[in-house]
Structure 1
Amino acid sequence: MPVIFLVLTFNRGGDYRSEVVLWETTAAHSPDKARVHYELGRAYLQQEKVDPAEKELARVLELDPKNIPARIMLGKINIERENYSSALESYLALIRQNIKTPAVKFNTGLCYLEMGQAGQALPYLEEAVDKQPGSAYGHFILGRAYHQSRRLNDALKQFRTSVQINPDDPKTHYHMGQVFWDLKSYFFADASFQKAYQLDPQYVDALNNLISSSMLFKQYDQAITYLNRLLEINPDDPNARQLLTAAQRLRDRPAPKVPARPEQFH
């Protein structure tokens, strides 16, 4: 699931279970106080209790339809559930209220992107990233939007910026490899896929692309190594078994005989 650009400003630490009990008790005594339901919903989220959190935040909006933090958090919940259309409704409602913070703009663009509407996403993402240029994740998502829009050089620029900020994110290296592949820069694509796999040895998509590049380069021993690793992760993958057989046959195929040059017969 996507990581949300918005970071909730709750840093007090402590025992979240005690906080939930506190706000549950308060809500029982003050059922019509929007702030109480908001704090209870936030406390539930700290414990990753999404369903009760959503219920409390919905109650907040019943009591206070213009409550901005509750609407932002509901959008966050819907993004985590990959319910992008509902999340988008929340963020567009905020924008109509003239709430145009980088987080709101970014998450609006993220929803459009995940719904396959990269063109709609770009203006929101560009504005958000321009205002918060230090976010590796922001550049990563903007790079994905450029890639979907076939603006390959712009995508590459964003992914490079992202890995400069956070060089240890395997997904960014993987997506950068995808752009290189589309640019037919297969050597650089392979290097990016290798980096993604190095950072996350369970990264199946990176492994699949390393198999493809190894076969392209006729590096059959390397392809076999990657295929065996893929089968360790997913022993029931029929495509991997078929490819393994093909790679082994190609590796073991006798080299074609080179015709003798005419001077060899004299």
Structure 2
Amino acid sequence: MQANPDGVNYKKSSPTYQAKVITQQPGTSQPPATQQGFNCIEAFAHLEKIQIHQIKEFPSFAEKFKTANRYILSNENNEPCFYAFEESSCCQRTCCGRQRGFVMHILDNFRKEEVLKITRNFQCCGACCCSCCTCCQQECTVSSKSTGLLGTIRKKFGFISSNFEVLDANGQVVLEIEGPNCCLQMGCGDKEYSIRAPNTDQVIGTIHKKWEGWYQEAFTKTDTFSINFPKDLDSKLKGALLGATFLIMNYGFR
């Protein structure tokens, strides 16, 4: 105790502090989905463009051995967001070409977890004129661990057309993709596929194949594709459109 000149006694008291446990290092952020369990399909929620860049293989090596394809997927700012790799047999890659079956695994670049799986079964024939037969119809399925089947992409019947339809998990057509016919598809220059709502002329997005030049197209197995869609499009449809792009890439440009 210490008395002051006014005759009032003051008692010194120390404030009580409660230690706060630090659960996260300063300067780092963690997505909410990580805390509550990773919902794979939500990785597409903020995207409005996906660019697909095939990882280059040396021509001399690629000619002797048909290696499985690998891709880097980036957003509209050219920031890598996904990594994709093909799972297929060496025999089918070498002997069957674009008719081969494969599973394309799409991994999230941040968590290194699989967000999508694109499955395409072997088809005994794959030319445009053969797609009018059920046994030759080109299709693939898209699924994720968190939501199961997202949809099926199927080439529409036609002699020289390159049109596809996107079906949801219930088998209902939710989107249509209209591309150049097979003759124009083989020519030089960029190729574009229009994404439309069913039975309308309303274009909601595009799938674009960039022409890489004579040498790249003839002697290297590298492709560059991009998908544009509305930012508020259902994430499941974005995932299905990514599957459609890989089907088009392996069916029409191999």
Q: Indicate the structure with greater strand content.
A: 2
Q: TM-score, normalised by structure 2?
A: 0.24
Q: TM-score, normalised by structure 1?
A: 0.24
Task: State the structure with bigger RCO (CA 8 A, min sep 6), 1 or 2.
Answer: 2
Q: Indicate the structure with greater helix content.
A: 1
